[in-house]
């Protein structure tokens, strides 16, 4: 082989080597780029845990960045925080369910800002899309989607709550027991309790709180009946609410500023004239009569429900048959007649009101 041929061969080889190196370098750059943006769709979402995870990234306009997590168990909040830094526009964060339905969204403004999504846990049924407080189902998978332009840090964490805030998960209170001590961990925290009157005595519910606090009082159908009696109107203040009537149940939903500490308790109150003991009701299974002993001029309301059915037993009054009677009782003792005898499962409900006296409530299920 001549010297010229060898030079030409070497030149061809060098060019080929350069082309091969350029090819592999290009493929490597594409691989690195793909690896850095592997979570641009839900199928390749980066799995993170609800335990203080911190994920950093850089978002490009028109591209979405996906993460996934499994909802925890127990009475906790799940909080997703997006700290964004961008010179223009906004950066958005969404939480989605497995079907990619958006549960809730939030966003940061231009500059350095934090967007936060707070969720609670739901223990059964379908997850709620409530705009105030979205609820997640235990151990179900969810997605987080980030979009916009700029750098970001994603933090996912959970915080335990001392008491549930739902109607179905309310904590029972016991008369005469040690005060129940609690705290509103966040501004959006609600703690729920209930008390059922065990006898014909009257009871006083007392709340002491370090800050102003609201309390919604509801009946056993979650119907609000009072929003003022148990409001704590000043810091380190006290509020009281009295109730009576055998088996009457009241629910108390406490809310206020995060960090508010409180004590709630129930005690027997012996001031009969102020607590509804000025009225008594006499009836029994197998009888069709209801006798009410009260003060003259008291306003009486009577309803009798039929067992487990959503129907009512009619009451004879002024030659008519009514499912509910409301009247002013002119005698201290008055007997009312039903259209049939009371049977096991029937529920007798009597309410009595009179000026300057606490409302009397009576509810008895026949056995």
Q: Give the pLDDT confidence of 148-160 residue by residue, as tens digits.
A: 888 899 999 988 8
In this structure, what DSSP letter does residue 16 have? Answer: H
Q: Cβ–Cβ contacts within 10 Å for residue 303, how many?
A: 18
Tell me the HSE value of 203 on the side-chain side, using a 13 A CA sphere: 25
pTM, full prediction: 0.57
Please name every residue paired with 70 in a beta bridge, in sequence order, or none if there are none.
141
247: left (phi over 0), alpha (psi -120 to 50) or beta: left
Whether the pLDDT of residue 100 is over 90: the answer is: yes
Q: What are phi and psi of 24, to 5 degrees?
A: -70, -35
Q: Grade residue 127 by pLDDT with cuts at 50, 70 and 90.
A: very low
Print burial letters for 209-233: b (CB count within 10 Å at least 16), e (below 16): bbbebbbbbbeeeeeeeeeeebbbe
Q: 171-274 adopts what CATH topology? A: Jelly Rolls (2.60.120)
27: left (phi over 0), alpha (psi -120 to 50) or beta: alpha
Average pLDDT over residues 345-363: 84
Average pLDDT over residues 185-196: 90
> Where does the chain hold its CATH 2.60.40 domain(s)?
280-365
Query: For residue 96, what pLDDT is reported?
Result: 93
Query: For residue 273, what pLDDT is reported?
Result: 45
Q: 45-160 adopts what CATH topology? A: Jelly Rolls (2.60.120)
> Looking at 11-15, 201-205, 214-218, 250-254, which range is the least confident one?
11-15
Q: Where are the beta strands (DSSP E) in 166-275?
A: 171-172, 180-184, 190-196, 202-209, 213-218, 224-226, 237-244, 249-256, 260-268
> Where does the chain hold its CATH 2.60.120.380 domain(s)?
45-160, 171-274
Query: For residue 115, what pLDDT is reported?
Result: 87
Whether the pLDDT of residue 163 is over 80: the answer is: yes
Average pLDDT over residues 72-87: 85
Query: For residue 24, what pLDDT is reported?
Result: 57
Average pLDDT over residues 65-92: 86
Nearest to 52 by CA among 76, 86, 84, 85: 76
Cα-to-chain-centroid distance, residue 293: 42
Q: Which residues contact 77 (CB under 8 A, 6 or more apart)?
A: 118, 119, 120, 158, 159, 161, 186
DSSP H helices in the chain? 3-36
Q: What are phi and psi of 259, to 5 degrees?
A: 95, -5
Chain-wide mean pLDDT for the chain? Answer: 83
Q: Which CATH architecture has domain 280-365?
A: Sandwich (2.60)
């Amino acid at each position: 082989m001549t010297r010229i041929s060898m030079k030409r061969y070497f030149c061809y080889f060098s060019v080929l080597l350069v082309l091969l190196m350029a090819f592999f370098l290009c493929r490597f750059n594409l691989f690195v780029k793909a690896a850095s943006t592997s979570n641009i769709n839900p199928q390749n979402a980066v799995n993170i845990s609800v335990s203080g995870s911190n994920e950093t990234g850089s978002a490009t306009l028109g591209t979405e960045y996906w993460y996934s997590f499994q909802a925890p168990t127990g009475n906790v909040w799940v909080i997703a925080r997006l700290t964004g830094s961008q010179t223009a526009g906004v950066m958005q964060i969404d939480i989605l369910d497995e079907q990619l339905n958006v549960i809730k969204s939030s966003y940061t403004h231009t500059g350095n800002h934090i967007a936060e999504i707070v969720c609670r846990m739901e223990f059964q049924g379908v997850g709620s899309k409530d705009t105030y407080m979205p609820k997640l189902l235990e151990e179900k998978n969810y997605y987080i989607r980030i979009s916009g332009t700029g750098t970001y840090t994603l933090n996912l964490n959970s915080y335990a709550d001392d008491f549930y805030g739902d109607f179905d998960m309310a904590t029972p209170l016991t008369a005469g027991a040690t005060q129940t001590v609690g705290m509103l961990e966040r501004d959006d925290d609600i703690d729920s309790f209930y008390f059922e009157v065990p006898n014909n005595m009257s009871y006083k519910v007392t709340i002491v709180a370090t800050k102003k606090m609201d309390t919604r009082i509801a009946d056993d159908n979650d119907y609000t009946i009072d929003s003022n009696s148990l409001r704590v109107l000043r810091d380190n203040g006290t509020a009281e609410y009295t109730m009576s009537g055998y088996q009457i149940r009241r629910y108390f939903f406490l809310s206020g500023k995060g960090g508010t500490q409180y004590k709630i308790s129930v005690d027997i109150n012996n001031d009969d004239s102020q607590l509804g003991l000025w009225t008594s009701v006499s009836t029994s299974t197998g009888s069709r009569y209801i006798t009410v002993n009260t003060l003259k001029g008291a306003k009486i309301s009577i309803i009798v429900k039929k067992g487990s059915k959503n129907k009512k037993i009619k009451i004879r009054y002024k030659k008519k048959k009514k499912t509910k009677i409301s009247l002013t009782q002119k005698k201290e003792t008055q007997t009312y007649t039903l259209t049939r005898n009371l049977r096991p499962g029937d529920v007798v409900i009597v309410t009595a009101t009179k000026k300057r006296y606490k409302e009397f409530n009576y509810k008895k299920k026949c056995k």
